[in-house]
Amino acid sequence: MNYEDLTTLGIAFGLGLLVGMQREKHNKDQIAGVRTFTLISILGVVAGFLTRLYDNPYILPLIGLAMAAMLITANLMKLKTQDNPTLGQTTEMAALLMFAIGAYLVVGDRVVGVIMGAAIAILLYVKDHLHKFIGDLEDNDISAIMILAGISLIILPILPDKTFGPFDVLNLRNIWLMVTLIVGISVIGYFIYKFIGKKYGILSNGILGGIISSTATTVSYARFTKKSKNIDKASAFVIFAAATVSLIRVMIEIGAVIPSLLSKVVLPIVALFLLMIGLSIVLFYLTNKENTSDDMPKPENPAQIKSALMFGGIYAIILLAVAFTEQELGDEGLYVAAFVGGLANKDAITLSLSQSIGSGLDTNFGWRLIVVASLSNFLFKIVLCAILGTKQLTKWMALFFGAAILGGLIILWLWPETWHF
């Protein structure tokens, strides 16, 4: 007895049952319910068995055409017998897909077939939520989705995967992959804030601001302190919390570039992150919570072609700068590059240094450079607040970012090289 075939039949039975229950629960007048979908999935498996048994490629499409003809006949009967028949095609498409998935479980990859069947069931189940989500989208939101899709699905695949230029470190596909990563993280944070974050006030503003862009959050809230009264502490908390959460972005970026070396690099950054969480808690309890909900600035759409191109350009420049300083100036030069890169763009310098670690840069030296870049970025945020915000905001930022920078310097100085995951 072939237990593999029995397992395949069981999987098809379960997937058909799952999709059929959703269809029957959604609309009892559909032409196919729980029993029909289960039979359709099993039919696909049997068609796959027959195709394999007789080694005949025509059996599967002929049975598929016969099933499609049955669906057409059922729809014609429905049109004739019902006064106001529904004209949607979702059930018919789901039935064809479940037949195809049943066959694919036999002739293709079983895991892929299971994933597809489960994905179809989930997609059908979340119909109302999906429609509500789409209904709540604004033009800028659709623009963000389309730009992210264009960046990741159209531009990225066609770029050449070859290095070129000075020091042989520039790679268009690699550069654009980093652009896609950063834009994707920012867009996810943007939509979380749009649909969830508004309910939780300044706490979510800070957390999600760090996911979207801690620098953009700093600029927005610093400017806002000059327009509204009594929000200096609240703005300080949001800015500092965003900078704290941005360290999660740093760790995600390191993990995306060098997943195998993440455990050797991330622990000191986690220590700095925990220190900043403690400082954020202190600042939160010092915050004046009046006038901090509806009046606070909202994040802008982070997916812009211009911003993506600018990030790609900055990342390429930093790649060249790191390669130049590593070759010409040695370790001292890399500290300068990390400091300047942190002022310019913390994400770009983090990704660039991660690439260097993956190419052979010592991990203990590499994480120190990344921490220097982060501390440099904190210093830059103090300067931004001094230029764009009020004196009170600058005082709070100098105090708390100063404490974070001091803690980071202590980590750089005292952290044992043997301490890592």
How confident is the model over 7-32, as pLDDT tens digits?
Answer: 889 999 999 898 888 877 766 556 66
pLDDT for position 30? 61
Q: Report how far residue 193's alpha carbon sits from residue 202's, in angstroms, rounded to the nearest whole number.
A: 11
**Which of 98, 133, 168 represents a domain boundary (last residue)?**
133
CB neighbours of residue 278 within 10 Å: 14
Is residue 294 domain-shared with residue 386, that is, in the same domain?
yes
At residue 201, the pLDDT reads: 64
Q: Is 405 part of any domain?
A: yes
The pLDDT value recorded for residue 225 is: 87
What is the model's pLDDT at position 158? 93
My answer on whether 300 and 331 are in the same domain is yes
Residue 323 near residue 169 (C-beta atoms within 8 A): yes
Instruction: Report, as ranges of residue numbers, the positions in the chain whose pLDDT lies below 70.
Output: 1-2, 26-32, 82-88, 197-201, 288-298
Looking at the structure, tell me whether residues 142 and 127 fall in a common domain: no
Choosing from 133, 155, 180, the residue where a domain stops is 133
The 3-state DSSP class for residue 301 equals coil
Residue 420 lies in a domain: no
Domain boundary residue, one of 133, 156, 176: 133
Burial label, 15 (beta-carbon count in 10 A; 0-12, 13-18, 19+): buried
Pair 161, 282 in one domain: yes
Same structural domain, 43 and 82? yes
For residue 330, tell me if it sits in a domain.
Answer: yes
Work out the mean pLDDT of the chain and round it to a whole number. Answer: 86
* Residue 329 confidence (pLDDT): 80
Query: Which pLDDT value is given to residue 97?
Result: 92
- CA 333/CA 335 separation, integer angstroms: 5
421, part of any domain:
no
Judgement on whether residues 243 and 100 belong to the same structural domain of the protein: no
Sequence-distant (6+) residues with CB within 8 A of 324 are 166, 167, 333
Number of structural domains (the chain) is: 2
Same domain, 109 and 125: yes
Q: Are 123 and 153 found together in one domain?
A: no
* Whether residue 144 sits in one domain with residue 54: no
The answer on 185 and 94 residing in a single domain is no
Residue where the block lists tokens 């029993």: 35
Q: What is the pTM of this model?
A: 0.76
Q: Considering only CA atoms, which of 390, 388, 371 is closest in space to residue 218?
A: 388
Q: Are residues 154 and 99 in the same domain?
A: no
- One-letter amino acid of 231: I
Q: Are residues 225 and 83 in the same domain?
A: no
Q: Is the dihedral of CA 349, 225, 185, 164 positive or negative?
A: negative
Q: Which domain holds residue 91?
A: 3-133
Tell me the C-alpha distance between 384 and 89, whole Å.
Answer: 55
Residue 50, in any domain of the structure: yes
pLDDT (tens digit per residue) in 211-241: 888 888 899 888 888 887 778 888 899 999 9
Of 246, 286, 239, 282, the residue nearest 385 (C-alpha): 239
Q: The dihedral of CA 389, 346, 140, 127: what is its sign?
A: negative
- Domain membership flag for residue 383: yes
